[in-house]
Structure 1
């Protein structure tokens, strides 16, 4: 089964590019930019990647982002992630970036998006990996700050597929950002939002009804509301689930307790993603392998997880059909148990 998983074509829909900053690249960028890190070595930095909840993770996450200064830095960060995608047979990825994390440090919005975007385009040309770019608002900041960020994004709308909402969920419900999401949709942007990770199932309902999201990021707390579970199955609202992240942040105590296969069996459009893989223990193959070890999914279930992601991706019809054909070809060649 391990070989099947490694060969399985994959699509990633929930990935924070800042969360792919591996300690070795952090040290490389710190040296390039003359930044002193609070770690004596790469191994010390790896040891520091320990946290007990979302907020303690975010504290380390934002500290690491301080080494990202130039357009080249953002290019190198994104390119490093794309090489991981190639190794894990990721055909298509839709990545999040957090401009407010960087503009608050005096980094120009254009510097951030230019570096990321140029790497994505090179990845499509040289690696054959298609992609979309989603700009996230930090929900612990104000809606006014989100409006300001959206204003900075307007010259780059042709590079953006959508907007999202991330950072601390508790105390920052979807309703806080209703107006800025309305404006983003009026500009032609898709919308997604983190909901139902550390927050209640009601956040999922509000993200759908108030923010009119096309996908719910995480969403595993939907089980608090059985009627919501049924509605998610009926509407095929995608949930971009992140298994290793959920364990690292104690959403579930053990992978054996994870509900992703239960949700899949109930007919929900659940997908597998890596979230912040440098911090949470692995990229796409690692997440699939961890699920396999703990929950023993069938080959058909693993393929369905990718099929769900293809259906949930922000793709044109022809591109979606091509990904489905690639998956179908794989299933014909490798699907016999």
Structure 2
């Protein structure tokens, strides 16, 4: 079977996906009209044309502006349903989805609006085609740690709907150590912990995420090659990296997909996974990321199957579920 067919047909898990970053231009336009939100664009085509970025911050500026069209429970249902439907198309059987409460609460949209919307779509996808979904609540690192404590408290009625807590947004100038105290409380509450580190920031930020935040996974982590001791630690402890190839290209972390280091990291024994990050902004969902690794880096069938298996190994699924899906991949 051709590798492109394997990419589309084999089961996959996605572990690094920002639900607000899956907002399609057509849905953004539709919701803007619904709520009479004025966008700085005159058409869906103009929104699509705006998805060109110089760096992480220029992307985030557009990202937060787009999120402003999300106002009521049904908007959040539609946002989640659209992504989960894409998962069904691409045979993504399990997703661990990040959401940014502060992006919404700062606009006066509360947990009692977005959480029911998300849950309705998640429950529907589970009942209709058996999709499994876990939620990761992320703190915005460009805001003060005090704000993260407030968000953690506001989330309390919804703790049973949240599996992990993460850290995202502008990395440079906002090291993990800034959030050491709030993640100590997160740990006490029993949540899994993830954090963006080593995307635009240095390898030291990955060390901070490990030593100060006690992460179960590192989001991105591609700058780990700056530090050989860190590389050995990641291999020895099989600490997962949720790598996002098209995102790295779009945000100028790399200048050409041919220069991406994911397959090098895989061959050295790291537990790397493939993810789409903010797919509508970065030019592709999960299958497109795998396709690019094959086209630009010559990813072979063995590497594909290892990356697919890694996505389940690194997930927060129960062990029997992980093994079930890994066996499906190995049997292909």
Bin the TM-score by the shorter chain: over 0.9
2:251 aligned to 238, 249, 252, which one?
249
Instruction: List aligned pairs for 1:179-190, cutoff 5 A.
Output: 179-190=181-192
Which whole-Å CA distance do the structure 1 matches of 2:308 and 2:204 have between them?
27
Count of equivalent residues: 330
Q: C-alpha displacement at 1:47, in angstroms? A: 0.5
Which whole-Å CA distance do the structure 1 matches of 2:305 and 2:12 have between them?
9
Counterpart in the other structure of 1:62: 64
Contact 1:91 1:323 in 2 (8 A): no
SS in 2 for 1:217: strand
1:196 aligned to 195, 198, 206, which one?
198
Which whole-Å CA distance do the structure 2 matches of 1:257 and 1:214 have between them?
27
Q: C-alpha displacement at 1:73, in angstroms? A: 0.3
Q: C-alpha displacement at 1:31, in angstroms? A: 1.6
Q: C-alpha displacement at 1:180, in angstroms? A: 0.6
Q: Deviations over 1:258-294 (max 9, x none)?
A: 0000000000000000000010000001000011100
Counterpart in the other structure of 1:74: 76
Counterpart in the other structure of 2:48: 46
Which whole-Å CA distance do the structure 2 matches of 1:71 and 1:321 have between them?
36
Which whole-Å CA distance do the structure 2 matches of 1:311 and 1:135 have between them?
21
User: How large is the Cα RMSD of the aligned pairs?
Assistant: 0.9
Which whole-Å CA distance do the structure 2 matches of 1:293 and 1:129 have between them?
29
Contact 2:305 2:330 in 1 (8 A): no
Counterpart in the other structure of 2:296: 294
Counterpart in the other structure of 2:133: 131
Q: C-alpha displacement at 1:156, in angstroms? A: 0.7
Q: C-alpha displacement at 1:83, in angstroms? A: 0.8
Q: Deviations over 1:294-323 (max 9, x none)?
A: 001110100100111111100112222222
2:215 aligned to 209, 213, 216, which one?
213
Q: Which 5+ residue runs of structure 1 have no aligned equivalent? A: 332-337
Counterpart in the other structure of 2:154: 152
Q: Deviations over 1:28-55 (max 9, x none)?
A: 1112222222110000000111110000
1:90 aligned to 59, 67, 92, which one?
92
Find runs of 4+ consecutive structure 1 residues off by over 2 angstroms.
none
**1:13 and 2:15 are equivalent in the alignment:** yes
Which whole-Å CA distance do the structure 2 matches of 1:222 and 1:56 have between them?
24
Per the normalisation by structure 2, the TM-score is 0.98
Contact 2:197 2:218 in 1 (8 A): yes
Counterpart in the other structure of 1:171: 173
Which whole-Å CA distance do the structure 1 matches of 2:271 and 2:86 have between them?
25
Q: C-alpha displacement at 1:122, in angstroms? A: 1.3
Which whole-Å CA distance do the structure 2 matches of 1:209 and 1:5 have between them?
36
Contact 1:197 1:220 in 2 (8 A): yes
SS in 1 for 2:68: helix
SS in 2 for 1:141: coil
Contact 1:71 1:111 in 2 (8 A): yes
Counterpart in the other structure of 1:108: 110
Larger deviation, residues 36-45 vs 313-322: 313-322
Per the normalisation by structure 1, the TM-score is 0.96
Q: C-alpha displacement at 1:8, in angstroms? A: 2.2
